[in-house]
Amino acid sequence: MSAAVKSTSGLNVPYMGKCCFCFSLEFGSLAIAACSVLFWMFVLFDILTVNRYNTKNAVESGVARLLIDMVLAALMFIGAQKRMSLLILLWVLVEFVLILVNVVLALVVGIMQLSHVMLLGAAIIGTFYTLALIVVFNFYREVRDGQ
């Protein structure tokens, strides 16, 4: 990751020219979208197969959230493939909000239950999604600027 910071509309998001120091931002965005779709499919399968342990409302709300994430990842994949900045920006904005909500909820639950494992998990997942968000946002900049 380069240390350069380019300003975009008052936002100071670190500028990255490459994903993971060697891949293009387009490839990184496509990989993030494809991995997200596969990951959420596995999680959805897991929720549907172990629903006997959960209440019906918990399963339905979990399925709805996962379907939203899968659709967003598919839209981002299409946007990255066809270089459509609006679809990429949609993913960035919604994922930013979802990351904030998920990390805050995990922190609250972890603190209330004094679970260090949950706090560590929230930190790891938050770090991964923040890196993914930076890669995709930089690809959005690239597409928007027509490079």
Q: Are the beta carbons of 96 and 77 closer than 8 angstroms?
A: no
Of 90, 55, 58, give the one whose Cα is nearest residue 76. Answer: 90
Does the residue 93 lie in any domain? yes
Does the residue 11 lie in any domain? no
Does the residue 131 lie in any domain? yes
How many folded domains does the chain comprise?
1
Does the residue 1 lie in any domain? no
Does the residue 97 lie in any domain? yes
Each residue's pLDDT tens digit, 13-56? 778 778 777 888 888 888 888 888 888 777 777 666 665 555 66
**All residues at 6 or more sequence positions from 38 whose CB lies less than 8 Å from its CB, including other chains:** none
Does the residue 13 lie in any domain? no
Query: Domain span at residue 53?
Result: 24-144
Each residue's pLDDT tens digit, 85-143? 999 999 999 888 888 887 787 777 777 777 777 778 778 878 888 888 989 999 999 99
Does the residue 19 lie in any domain? no
Does the residue 129 lie in any domain? yes
pTM of the model: 0.74
